A and B are shown apart, each in its own frame.
Chain A
Amino acid sequence: MNNKLKMSLLTILLGALGFADLLGAGATFPQPLYSKIFAVYEQQKGVKVNYQGIGSGGGIKQLTEKVIDFGGTDAYMTDKEIAAAGAPIVHIPTCIGAVVVAYNLPGNPDLKLTPALVSKIFNGEINKWSDPQIAAVNPGLKLNGDIFVVHRSDSSGTTSIFTDYLSQIDPTNWKMSKTFSTKSKLAVGGKGNSGVAGLIKQMPGAIGYTEIAYANQNKMKYAAVQNSSGVFITPSLESTSAAADVEIPADTRASIVNTKARDGYPICGFTWLVAYQDLSKNPAKAREVTDLLKWIIADGQAFTRELDYGRLPQSVAAKALANVNSIKVN
């Protein structure tokens, strides 16, 4: 059965069951935000959107196979992936996710980390909290015990943002990847954000990375990280948005980790919706897709705060809108 037939069958099936007018699939990282946005969108515009969180890789694959109207991904599509898609693809950033370095230390002290400390702690070079390099950045803080590194065991966009950051600040020791591997002997992997959060909360001396939303929900302490301008930035939705307010290419395919923005938090990244640029074969559907995308980058941004995602700064929203407008609808 060819893919076109599969797609039309699926659409007819879902349509007949009253499931959805538009189909999307991909990244799980922004799924809570998308669920909220699509629910409100259905109430206001009467258009049903079905988004399945199957992972970024799956989203790109299904878009390429043309079984969905748009995909969601935490890592922008590479030139190779776009070539495999067979036609131009537009990237629409929808929000910014921050990855925080959360820890469990007695007395919940505030911790400051430099890029070098982050890299060395996570690859096991520094394995005691009493290490003088930590004390040098955190004068007056008396810590001791082993450092336990907690990471995601499942492949995820969160790991990809975190390793993207590590590879920018310490390219000899790290490579960007969706799976985390470390030389640390005291490292454990937790399944999902909830697994990582659970392990950090249980283990005194643990440090790990997780999405800001999970850290906030679990009331975990997280570190202020020094950015490329030398300022220690506590992760927040404001400092996340600020990080994205830099010069990025028109197609928005850019990594914003280790941002040049002075008040930007350095460990964060866009998440995108991706669609084919030429949707003129089905003008009615094309109109629905573009309307939805426009709504997400304008009205939809209002929901970012309550769900702990960074709002797109004006400069990026403008580029996103230009990309939506570049979609050929008829």
Chain B
Amino acid sequence: MLRSLSLQTKENIFQQILAKSAFFVAAVLFLFFLTLLVKAWLAIWSNGFDFFTGAVWDPLTGVYGAFPLLFGTLLTSVLALLLTLPFALSIALFLGEFFRKGLAASALRSSVELLAGIPSVVYGFWALFVLVPLIRGLEITLGVVPLGVGVLAASLVLAIMIVPYAASLSAETIKLVPQDIREAAYSLGATRYEVVRRVILPHARSGICAAVLLALGRALGETMAVTMVIGNANKMPASLFDAGNTMASLIANELAEATDPLYVSSLMQVGLLLFLVSALINLAGRYVVKKFSVET
């Protein structure tokens, strides 16, 4: 049947399929937002502005303040990003610039990519039984309350989880830096460090920024591994060693048994807030990427 159609019609059909699939994804995103908004409507009106500023989340008395959760989410994610950045950049430079081929490079590349494939519950278990006792030991040495679980544990496990996202994409961008400008730099007598520092990194920075944002987005939404080690206390963490909570973790913990309509709706509102925070960071990121990109 297809054979009998004219070339032009075939081309049109193909284009239509592409356009509809692309539009479909955008529509899903929009409907997703709409669903959250509708389900959170009751809470938005009932909680008012206190939702954003309130420090108390107590379903028993019907007080829903999400500020500590918002703070916990941003704190753990940003901290994780700062911790992961030096490692991710080193891996990216190693794979993208120094050792592009060879056994060592491919072994390293596969292991970094494998990190992304480990289920988060496995990270959580590992963190709970290995990382947390180590942190507790550190806390005893420092003389702070030895909870073990808390913001630091959550940030550390997140940092490990997002390394592959930041590293793989950065390595690809670094590889894409044109060979001739590299060679031009070397011909001017630049050392390898100078080439990396003055030519490659500036050239690849927009790609690296994109990679970092992807990693940040991953950290913002991570649920299982965080909930297992953050201590799940719905309050402002007093220090890095204190317990806290994140938005994703709260929803995962409380949604299953929430029955009161306002309670369910408030959890949806937390979901909506998380959605908006992720979207905002993404938009800000696009701006940064655009600003940093080098014309070639």
Which A positions have Cβ atoms within 8 angstroms of B? 54-58, 60-61, 146, 148, 153-156, 175, 177-179, 181, 186-191, 195, 198-199, 202-203
Expressed in whole angstroms, the minimum distance between the Cβ of A198 and any Cβ of chain B is 6
Expressed in whole angstroms, the minimum distance between the Cβ of B56 and any Cβ of chain A is 9
Indicate if B128 sits at the interface (CB-CB under 8 A).
Answer: yes
State which of B58, B129, B243, B256 has its C-beta within 8 Å of the C-beta of A188. B243
B132 contacts across to A, CB distance below 8 A: 202
B124 contacts across to A, CB distance below 8 A: 191
29 A-B residue pairs with CB within 8 Å: A55-B257, A56-B257, A58-B256, A60-B259, A61-B259, A148-B147, A153-B232, A154-B252, A154-B253, A154-B254, A155-B258, A179-B253, A179-B257, A181-B58, A181-B60, A188-B149, A189-B231, A189-B232, A189-B243, A190-B228, A191-B124, A191-B227, A191-B228, A191-B232, A195-B228, A198-B129, A202-B129, A202-B148, A203-B136
Mark interface residues in B215-233 (1 if CB within 8 Å of A CB, else 0): 0000000000001100111
Q: Are B136 and A202 in contact (CB under 8 A)?
A: yes
Expressed in whole angstroms, the minimum distance between the Cβ of A102 and any Cβ of chain B is 17
Indicate if B19 sits at the interface (CB-CB under 8 A).
Answer: no
Q: CA–CA, A191 to B228, complex, Å?
A: 6
A155 contacts across to B, CB distance below 8 A: 253-254, 256-258
B107-156 CB contacts (< 8 Å) to partner A: 124, 128-129, 132-133, 136, 145-150
Q: Are B258 and A188 in contact (CB under 8 A)?
A: no
B60 contacts across to A, CB distance below 8 A: 175, 177, 179, 181
Q: CA–CA, A153 to B133, complex, Å?
A: 20
A54 contacts across to B, CB distance below 8 A: 256
A198 contacts across to B, CB distance below 8 A: 128-129
A60 contacts across to B, CB distance below 8 A: 259
Q: CA–CA, A199 to B227, complex, Å?
A: 13
13 other A-B residue contacts (CB within 8 Å) besides A57-B258, A203-B148: A55-B257, A57-B256, A57-B257, A60-B259, A156-B257, A179-B59, A179-B254, A179-B257, A181-B60, A198-B129, A199-B128, A202-B132, A202-B133
Indicate if B234 sits at the interface (CB-CB under 8 A).
Answer: yes
Q: CA–CA, A202 to B259, complex, Å?
A: 34
B128 contacts across to A, CB distance below 8 A: 195, 198-199
Q: CA–CA, A119 to B87, complex, Å?
A: 47
Mark interface residues in B256-268 (1 if CB within 8 Å of A CB, else 0): 1111000000000
Expressed in whole angstroms, the minimum distance between the Cβ of B20 and any Cβ of chain A is 25
Q: Are A55 and B256 in contact (CB under 8 A)?
A: yes
B233 contacts across to A, CB distance below 8 A: 187-189
Q: CA–CA, A148 to B147, complex, Å?
A: 8
B258 contacts across to A, CB distance below 8 A: 57, 155
Q: CA–CA, A58 to B290, complex, Å?
A: 46
Expressed in whole angstroms, the minimum distance between the Cβ of B22 and any Cβ of chain A is 29
Q: Are B136 and A188 in contact (CB under 8 A)?
A: no
Q: CA–CA, A181 to B227, complex, Å?
A: 16
Expressed in whole angstroms, the minimum distance between the Cβ of A10 and any Cβ of chain B is 20
B231 contacts across to A, CB distance below 8 A: 188-189
| Contact of A203 with B227 at beta-carbon distance under 8 Å, contacts A57-B259, A175-B60 already known | no
Q: CA–CA, A56 to B259, complex, Å?
A: 10
A58 contacts across to B, CB distance below 8 A: 256
| Contact of A178 with B257 at beta-carbon distance under 8 Å, contacts A153-B227, A153-B232 already known | yes
Q: CA–CA, A60 to B259, complex, Å?
A: 10
Q: CA–CA, A61 to B145, complex, Å?
A: 42
Expressed in whole angstroms, the minimum distance between the Cβ of A152 and any Cβ of chain B is 9
Expressed in whole angstroms, the minimum distance between the Cβ of B157 and any Cβ of chain A is 13
Q: Are A203 and B254 in contact (CB under 8 A)?
A: no
| Contact of A188 with B254 at beta-carbon distance under 8 Å, contacts A195-B128, A202-B132, A202-B133 already known | no
Which of B58, B150, B232 gathers the greatest number of chain A CB atoms within 10 Å? B232
Query: In chain B, what residue has the closest Cβ to A54?
Result: B256
Top 10 nearest A-B pairs (CB, nearest first) are: A189-B232, A153-B232, A155-B257, A188-B231, A55-B256, A154-B253, A57-B257, A178-B257, A153-B253, A57-B259
Q: CA–CA, A258 to B289, complex, Å?
A: 62
B234 contacts across to A, CB distance below 8 A: 181
Query: In chain A, what residue has the closest Cβ to B128?
Result: A198
Query: In chain B, what residue has the closest Cβ to A176?
Result: B60
B136 contacts across to A, CB distance below 8 A: 202-203
Which of A178, A179, A199, A203 gathers the greatest number of chain B CB atoms within 10 Å? A179
Expressed in whole angstroms, the minimum distance between the Cβ of B257 and any Cβ of chain A is 4
Q: CA–CA, A195 to B136, complex, Å?
A: 16
A190 contacts across to B, CB distance below 8 A: 228, 232
| Contact of A177 with B228 at beta-carbon distance under 8 Å, contacts A54-B256, A154-B254 already known | no
Query: In chain A, what residue has the closest Cβ to B252?
Result: A154
Q: Are B253 and A191 in contact (CB under 8 A)?
A: yes
Which of B129, B150, B243 gathers the greatest number of chain A CB atoms within 10 Å? B243
Q: CA–CA, A299 to B249, complex, Å?
A: 41
Query: In chain A, what residue has the closest Cβ to B57?
Result: A181
State which of A146, A154, A177 has its C-beta within 8 Å of the C-beta of B59. A177
Q: CA–CA, A257 to B24, complex, Å?
A: 53
Expressed in whole angstroms, the minimum distance between the Cβ of A199 and any Cβ of chain B is 7
Q: CA–CA, A188 to B60, complex, Å?
A: 19
Expressed in whole angstroms, the minimum distance between the Cβ of B242 and any Cβ of chain A is 9
